[in-house]
Structures are given as structure tokens and as C-alpha cells.
Structure 1
Amino acid sequence: MTAQDEQVLRRVGAHLGVLASRDLAVRCRTGLEHSAQAWADRKRELTSESSSRWAGAITKASHDQWALARRCQAAHIRSLEAGIATIAHRLSQPIGAKGSKKAPGGYRSRREWHAKKRRLHVLSDRLERERADFEAGRVHIVRGGKRLLNARHQLAAAHLSEAQWRERWQAERWFLQVDGESGKRYGNETIRLTPDGQVSIKLPAPLAHLANAAHSRYVLSARVRFAHRGQEWADRIEANQAVACRIHLDIHPGGARNRRDSGRWYLTASWQHQPTPTIPLQAALAGGVIGIDTNADHLAAWRLDVHGNPIGDPRHFGYDLSGAASHRDAQVRHAITRLLHWARECGVHAIAVEDLDFAAEKTREKHGRNKRFRRLISGMPTGKLKARLTSMAEGAGIAIIAVDPAYTSRWGAQHWQRPLTSGTRKASRHDAAAVAIARRAQQYPIRRRTAPPPHEAVRSRCGQS
């Protein structure tokens, strides 16, 4: 982009960011007393300083942010309740008492018991405050991100100077996003993106003098190109279907303050799909099934035919979940993309996955000493994987079958790991678990064969003798 384009985007983003911060503060003060009339009043106040469409986008973003904070608050309360229940149970047990698979035992020493007793009071006070905030509709939100805000006090650890941090902080608090409008030209009137990649923005009223096109619009000199789902986006805007757009500046950490090439401008387009109708299980399994076992660093997959027999060799789709959230999400999407490509090549229309949920297992109080196990289950992207796999498989026309995860790893290793190991192939425990998951989705027993009753076995031996 030209320097003029970047200057206009910065001024528009900063102006709308101030309005978004002000509206979010009003929405948070309203709390549970929010109503449709209050929403209309907020939108009316913002319209004079922007436009009706920008005001609608800002108020909707504020409402969505408040609702997200409420959901996170409820999840935090559930986590505190689970931790308190675990500590209270372990404190009631004798010191040194052994636990079972269903419930943990007592603490190992008197010193640990005393420390956990103090922690119980801390968590109880914290839970009381969170419940009071939840009942009052009071949430705590930081526009720009709490992590980046705390980095201001630790610039050396974040490898940032004050000027670099300030630039990132301002960029994160800009507001340049709007929802799509069905029936409007190219699916969006505020940030319009034409089929040839031209971007034009409806300027707010105070910045209308910066327009270089009719109707207070500014046309960017740069062109936009989508490397992913570009044809699908083109089909939607040709039909004037709703397409939401967001423009943001991605500043690399540690980038030089006086260099404008330290970050890049991106335009993100998104839209909603119609829900795919559910198909019968037998129709989904007509071409076989692929079972996948979720692990902390890879997906172990194996293809089974319609009779439940493994075909070919197992496949592993690795990912690295270290680094920023955007990097972790990209790694998961890349692994799922390779999995779906392989499924299409094999002609399989169903993927079986375990219905895992480690929300109750990640608590610090249940596996306090076993940090390695806590780190292992926390690293498994179960929630993100299920959400990504469901949405991406729906677009590829592949059905997802969620199965009960009970004993799949143990029974798979017991009945399938050794038979599937040969001189040229070594099946791992995860590969055997993938076979067990796929067989359970096909409603076949995980065992390779059922042992005969004892009296039948005796009769066969007598006949042979």
C-alpha cells in the first residue's frame, strides 16, 4: 500500500477504536440491565460520529465481547468449584491414604496438608468474588489483550522497547471490522471487496474529507488476493451474499519502530455455512472409515474397510503446539487439511474421533504433583481439534463420528498392536488405538475374536484326543 493508504487506515482504525472502547465501557456498566432500547440508544449516539453501519458493527462487537466474557467467567467458576471439591475431599482423607481411579487419596505429608488447607481458603475467597461478579453481571475486559497489557511492565522479558510496545498496543485497539449484509452489493457496504480485489472503505463522518471516491469512500491502491477458498469467496460476492470483513495490522514482535515494513496489513473475509443435514450412519460408513487417535503432538490415523479390517499402513499427522495461539491454530488446521486430503484420496466419507473432554482433568488440584501428566493432557488440543475438524470436514463433505473414548488405547494395544506389527512395520500404541476407535464407530467389537465358552473348549479337546 501507499503511505496515504496506510495513513487513512490508521486514522480510521484509531477513530473507530476510541468509539469501540467507549461503547464497550457503556455495555459493561449496563450489565444485566441491557435491553433492546439501550442497544438502540448506544447505536444512535455512535451514528453521528461514524455512520449507521459502523455504529451497528461497534455495538454488536461490544455485545459479543461482553457475552464471551460472561462465558469465560462461568467456566472459571466451574474450574474453581472443581478445585475446591478436590481439595476438600483430599483434606478429609487420612494423611498418606491411597487413592483410586475414581477419587484421589489423602495428602502425603502434614506440611502439604497444611499448605492445601490455606489454598482452600484462597480459592473459596476467589470463588465468592467471582460469583458476586457473575450475579451482578460485572465482567473484566481489556481491549487489546491482558497479556499485551502486562507486557508493558516487563518490556525486557518481552524483548520490546516502549515505542514498539506502544505501536502494538495501539494497533490491537483499532477497530476495522464489519459484518456482512445479505442482498447488498458484494455482500458488504462498509468494507467493499470487488471480485478483482479492489478494497473500498466507507469513511466515518469526521474523516469524510479523506475520501478519494464518491459517497465518502476511500479506495485502497493495493489489491487483495485470497490463497485459501478464493473461489468460494468469489461465488458468494457474485451472488451478493453476506461476507464479513476485518482489516488489521500484524506487527511482528521486536520490529523496528521506524520501519513500516516490520508488519503487514491483512484483510480477513468470513461467512457462515448452512448446516449440513445429518446422514444415516450406514451411508457414511459405506466406503470404510478412518479412525484417528488424538495425541499431544500428532494425530495417529488408520483406514479400515467396511468389515473392520485395517488397510495399508498407519498415517501420522504431526503438529507443534508451542508458540502463539495463531501458530498453534495454524498447526492444527494444517494437520487436519492433510488428513482430509488423504481421506478424499482413499474415497472414505467418514472419520471416527474420540469424544474427549479434559476440562475436569486439567485442574491443578487433581494432579498437583504429576506436572508431566498435567502438561500432557493440557497440551492435547481436544476442544480446538473437534471444532476445526467438524467445520473443515463439513466443507469437504466428510462425516465426523464421535465415539466413546473408554478403554480404546488399552484394548487397542491389547488386541491390535502386536498382530499389526511386522518386520517392515512397527505399530505403536496410538496406531492400535486408532483401529479400536474406527471399529467402535463401525459398531464392531474391538476384540479380534471372541474366546469360546469353557465347556466348548473342553469338548473340542476331547474330540481331538
Structure 2
Amino acid sequence: MGGLREVAAPFVVPGPSGVAIRSGLKGLTVQDETVLRQVGALLGSLASCDLKARCAAGSAHDGEQWARRKRALTGQSSSRWAGSITRSAHDQWALARRGQLAHLHSLQAGVETITHRLAQPVGAKGNKGVPGGYRSRREWFAKSRRLHVLQDRLEQVRADWEAGRVRVVRGGKKLLHTRHHLEAAGLTEAQWRLRWEAERWFLQADGESGKRYGNETIRITPGGEVSIKLPAALAGLANAPHSRYVLAGRVHFHHRAEQWADRIAVNRAVAYRIHYDTGRNRWYVTACWQNPPVRTVPLETARAGGLAGVDMNADHLAAWRLDEHGNPVGEPHRFDYRLTGSAQHRDAQVRHALTRLLHWTARHGLALAIEDLDFTADKTREKHGRRKRFRKLISGMPTARLRARLVSMAAELGVTVVAVDPAYTSRWGAQHWQKPLTTKARKPTRHDAAAVAIGRRALGCPIRRRTAPPPHDRSDRVGHRTVQAAPGSPGREGPRPRIPGPRTRSAGAGRGAKAGDQCAHNRSGHTAEHEPWHQDSLPLSL
């Protein structure tokens, strides 16, 4: 047991801090699309220049440099457009900085793992989670060369980290890489160019509380009318006063439409982003705003009525309901999804599975217990070696997306989510619960047993059912009971059938008039013993 790590305490997951809704922008004219393209291209070029300046400043960037960047952009666009551009550039730099740190930690872990395994004898086996040596001299040699490659990369990344240098690609590094593999992506150069330009456009504006409809730059009225404040260089395209352009198309939000309408009715801040989908040839508007901080439910309150443990897998969610004492109730449930096809299809599959899970949970008035999963450090090939299928499996599991969607969707239905440490839940669940829960009509899987283990950990109960006594003790042989009854249960000390064996070959099971009568035996503490037994003192003559 010395090799087991300490298990973190469960906690109630706080609700989402923001909301984002999207709807199509329909009924646009040719002039509308032309104006949107020109505005997006102009602001996109300004955003690229500002991002370059932000990356050049590095970690020494301060508020004075931020104000200088904003003043340089204000003359070419407007004060509000400049604020949105500089804020977006700073967010991109911060995201790249966090990714750089994660990459640095990944390289350090890989170097340490390879260094340890190279120091072991060839063919040595691992012990208690610590990897052993490599299987052959050939693999040892290949890993020694890879060690030098990782060390060189680590030195470069560490130097960039210390200097504050980051590398950001506006439009995405993946799309940039696609330019060299157009045939594999099924795109022509013109199609790729259109997608590349659309991803680099900038048409997003931060909201302002107190301004009309919560946004002065991109304004949407309750009736769905969209108007844009044009940059100074394109003010000649305005068709409304104050250098504004009103689109002929209308937007109608369906999801959370009442919340959005309530916010703009009192002029509360709402941020908007206009995006062009080249594959569908459609324009979309995304509205987002921040939620006020909500006080989470105490953990004891979430445990009061029982909860449902949920085990996340590559193709389904396994759930089992538990009462407040940690006992499984009813039958296990399975919510399937398939992570194949396009990104939209995979996202829809995850949403559908979560919707069914949350509706089942809300119908029974339960809280949800999930694992606080994070596979970022566990899907490297130094960690799992030849287990390519397993690495591919955990790499394809949308842990972050599923967790974010579950929290946001659960908040809408009023379902409390409790996160637990994922350590050993699958192993201990299969060890302690899979066999006891198996019946002739029910064959629980390892994932169902893991759901029970997750639920018991969220309830504060140990995962193991009860510690059984040793198989060979002084009173009974292998047939000793495991003492599952509670201390106050009636009949827990009553007679139990005797099991024939080497010690009871003279009498069968249950034979004998006083086989189960504890009071008929001369045992301490029972009523058959009328007076205590005393040892007589030795006579003095001896």
C-alpha cells in the first residue's frame, strides 16, 4: 500500500461563469456580405499587427504599453474596436503562454521517464507503478537517441519560457499545416485561401453595461436588427447616422432567448462575434455574457438524498444510483455516444448523451458524481510505450469538453455536480463490487462497478465493502462470514448454518440440537455460564 498516492477530497463543482449562444444571420444582401468582409479584413490586419507587438513585448508587457497599443489602433478604427483588438491579442498571448508551460512539463516528464528506464537493466520489470528497463538493446538504443531529441526541445522551450517568447498563428496552426496537404484535406487552394482569410477576420466586440442594448460597437435590437459601428477607414460605407451600417438580415436567438432579451432590455453588457462558415456558406452571430457568481450547494446537502456515480468511457457513460449510505439502488444505466465523424457530429453526440443522463438524474432528484479527469499528462508515448491503442483511446476522449458541457447543462436543470479523485476507481470498483452485484439477470461491467466506486467516494464512504477476516482462523475455516450487517441489525448474532468439512465430518450442516445455540456452550459472556470461574490458589504444602 506504500505505492498508492493520496486521494484528494471530493468537492462540489461551481457553476459556469459565462454563457454563449449562437444563431444564424439570415437574409443578408450582397452589399451586406461585402461590408462584413471588408470590415473583417481591415480589423483582422490590425489585430495581426497588434498581436505581433504583444508577442514582441513578452512577459515585460505592462499597462503603459497596452495603452500605447490601443492609441495606435484608435486612429485607424475606433476606441472600442481598439479595446476589443488589444484584449483579444492579450488573451491569445496568455493562452499560448499556458500551452507553452504545459508543453514544458510534458517534455520534462518524458526526459525523466526515458532517463530512468535507460538506467535500468535491459529486460528489467517495473515495480509498483515504476517502469522497468526496455525490452531489447535495439529499443534501448532508439530511446537513447530520442532522449537527445527531447533534451534539445526542452532546452529550446525553456529558453523561450524564460525569455517570454510565444509563437501564435492567427487562423490556427492546424489550418496552416493543411496548406501543405490540400489533397489529404480534400480542399483546393482557393477553398483553403477563403477559409484561411475567414479565420483571420476580426468581427467581435466587447459589451458595455449602461450602453444601448449592452453593446455600442455591434448592436442587436430586441427585434433582431444588427448594426455595426464602422472603422474610420470605412466610414463611407455607412447607411445610418454616426458611421453605422445596418444589415438587412435579422438574427433570432432560440436558446436562452429570454435571458438575452432581459439583459439587453436593461442595457447590460453582451459581447458579440460575427463569424463566417465557409463550408456552409453561412454567417453566424454569437452572443455571450458573464453570470454573477453563484454560491454552490454544500457537500453535505448534495449527499443527503443520495447521488448517481458516473464513469466516463470512450463510447458511453456508465451510471448507477446510490442511496445516502452508499448502497447501489436499482439497475445500472448506460448512455451511449460515438466519437466519429465531423466535429459537429461528435459534439452533438456528447450533448445528447449528457441530456439523457441529466434528465434521468433530475427525475430522481439526485446529485451527480463524476471523476475530475485530466489526461494531458497521461497520453504521452513515454508514459505508455507500445500501447498505441490505449494512447489513441484516451487522446480521443473529450474530457474537457464533456466536463464543461456537463457543468453548464447541469446548472440549467438545477443538478449538483460533485467531482472526485479518479485514482483507482476502476480497479477497486471491479475488485469489490463487480462480483457481488452480479446476478443471474444482471451482469454489471467493470465500468458499472467503477460508477459505484465513484459514487461511494463522493459520499465519503470507503470503496471496499467491508474487510473480511483471514480465511483460516480459530473458530471457522474458509466459511467464515464477512460481517456485512450493521451493529444494530436484528439477528446479526443469531445461529448460522454449519458447513460440513474436515472439522465437522461427523455431523452434517445444521445437525445437532444445540448447533446454533450460543447460550448452550461454555463461552464467556453468555447466559449458560451462571457464575465466573476462579483459579484455586496452590496449597501451602506444595
TM, length-normalised to structure 1: 0.92
Alignment of 1:378-389 (within 5 A): 378-389=395-406
The structure richer in helix per residue is 1
Structure 1, 377-386 or 73-82: larger mean CA deviation: 377-386
Inter-CA distance 184–342: structure 2 relative to 1 (3 Å threshold): farther
Structure 1, 395-404 or 27-36: larger mean CA deviation: 395-404
Partner of 1:259: none
Separation in structure 1 between the aligned mates of residue 244 and residue 442 of structure 2, nearest angstrom: 63
Alignment of 1:87-106 (within 5 A): 87-106=114-133
Structure 1, 416-425 or 448-457: larger mean CA deviation: 448-457
Partner of 1:363: 380
Partner of 2:69: 42
Deviation at 1:136, TM superposition (A): 1.0
Inter-CA distance 324–67: structure 2 relative to 1 (3 Å threshold): farther
Q: Which runs of 5+ in 1 are unaligned?
A: 253-261
398, 414, 431: which one pairs with 1:414? 431
Q: Which runs of 5+ in 2 are unaligned?
A: 1-27, 481-494, 499-513, 518-542
Contact 1:143 1:173 in 2 (8 A): yes
Deviation at 1:361, TM superposition (A): 1.9
Contact 1:298 1:318 in 2 (8 A): yes
Separation in structure 2 between the aligned mates of residue 324 and residue 267 of structure 1, nearest angstrom: 21
In the comparison of the two structures, how many residue pairs are matched?
455
Partner of 1:216: 243
Alignment of 1:430-449 (within 5 A): 430-449=447-466
Partner of 1:339: 357
Partner of 1:267: 285
Which residue type is aligned with residue 187 of structure 2? Answer: L
Structure whose alpha-carbon radius of gyration is higher: 2
Separation in structure 1 between the aligned mates of residue 361 and residue 340 of structure 2, nearest angstrom: 27
45, 52, 59: which one pairs with 1:32? 59
Separation in structure 1 between the aligned mates of residue 475 and residue 273 of structure 2, nearest angstrom: 70
Contact 1:50 1:205 in 2 (8 A): yes
Inter-CA distance 342–232: structure 2 relative to 1 (3 Å threshold): farther
Separation in structure 2 between the aligned mates of residue 150 and residue 357 of structure 1, nearest angstrom: 27
The question of 1:227 aligning with 2:246 is answered no
Partner of 1:5: 32
Find the residue that maps to 1:75 and give its secondary structure.
helix
Alignment of 1:288-299 (within 5 A): 288-299=306-317
Structure 1, 3-12 or 54-63: larger mean CA deviation: 3-12
Which residue type is aligned with residue 172 of structure 1? Answer: E
172, 183, 186: which one pairs with 1:159? 186
Deviation at 1:227, TM superposition (A): 2.8
RCO higher in structure (CA 8 A, sep ≥6): 2
Inter-CA distance 447–361: structure 2 relative to 1 (3 Å threshold): same
Which residue type is aligned with residue 338 of structure 1? Answer: R
Inter-CA distance 198–315: structure 2 relative to 1 (3 Å threshold): farther
Inter-CA distance 65–286: structure 2 relative to 1 (3 Å threshold): same
Which residue type is aligned with residue 81 of structure 1? Answer: Q
Partner of 1:464: 516
Deviation at 1:452, TM superposition (A): 5.6
Which residue type is aligned with residue 516 of structure 2? Answer: Q
Q: What do you get for the CA RMSD once the two structures are aligned?
A: 2.2
Separation in structure 2 between the aligned mates of residue 220 and residue 315 of structure 1, nearest angstrom: 49
Deviation at 1:424, TM superposition (A): 4.5
The question of 1:279 aligning with 2:297 is answered yes
Partner of 1:310: 328
Contact 1:82 1:363 in 2 (8 A): no
Contact 1:212 1:218 in 2 (8 A): yes
Separation in structure 2 between the aligned mates of residue 175 and residue 165 of structure 1, nearest angstrom: 18
Which residue type is aligned with residue 293 of structure 2? Answer: P
Partner of 1:426: 443
